[in-house]
């Protein structure tokens, strides 16, 4: 049973890492479009519904903005 929980956690961690990468990519596309950045616009770009996914997407988005 522990192996199943470990595999499930690994799958969830991997999924969230992909969600974060999508946020990073979205930030680059957003900034390349020359659109002014505001909270409402950024929030509307986030396609995820769960808190964990939304937070990871925003983490990727913000991380990318910090490097641009």
Q: Which of 3, 6, 48, 50 is nearest to 61 (CA)?
A: 48
What angle in degrees, to the nearest 10, is found between the helix axes of 51-67 and 2-32? Answer: 40
pLDDT of 16: 97
- Is the pLDDT assigned to residue 68 strictly greater than 70? no
Domains held by the chain: number: 1
Contact between 61 and 42 under an 8 Å Cβ cutoff? The reply is yes
Determine the 3-state secondary structure of 46 from DSSP.
coil
On average, the pLDDT of the chain sits at: 89
pLDDT in tens, 19-40: 999 999 999 988 888 766 778 8
The Cα-based distances of 32 to 24, 35, 56 in angstroms read: 13, 8, 21
**Spatial contact of 21 and 53, defined as CB atoms under 8 Å apart:** no
The mean per-residue pLDDT over the stretch 32-60 comes to: 89
Q: What is the pLDDT of residue 35?
A: 67
Q: Report the percent of the chain where pLDDT is more than 70.
A: 91
Q: What is the domain range of residue 20? A: 2-67
């Amino acid at each position: 049973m522990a192996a199943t929980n470990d595999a499930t956690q690994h799958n969830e961690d991997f999924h969230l890492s992909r969600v974060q990468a999508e946020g990073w990519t979205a930030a680059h596309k957003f900034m390349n479009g020359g659109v002014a950045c505001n909270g409402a616009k950024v929030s509307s770009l986030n396609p995820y519904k769960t808190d964990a996914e939304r937070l990871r997407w925003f983490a990727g988005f913000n991380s990318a903005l910090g490097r641009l």
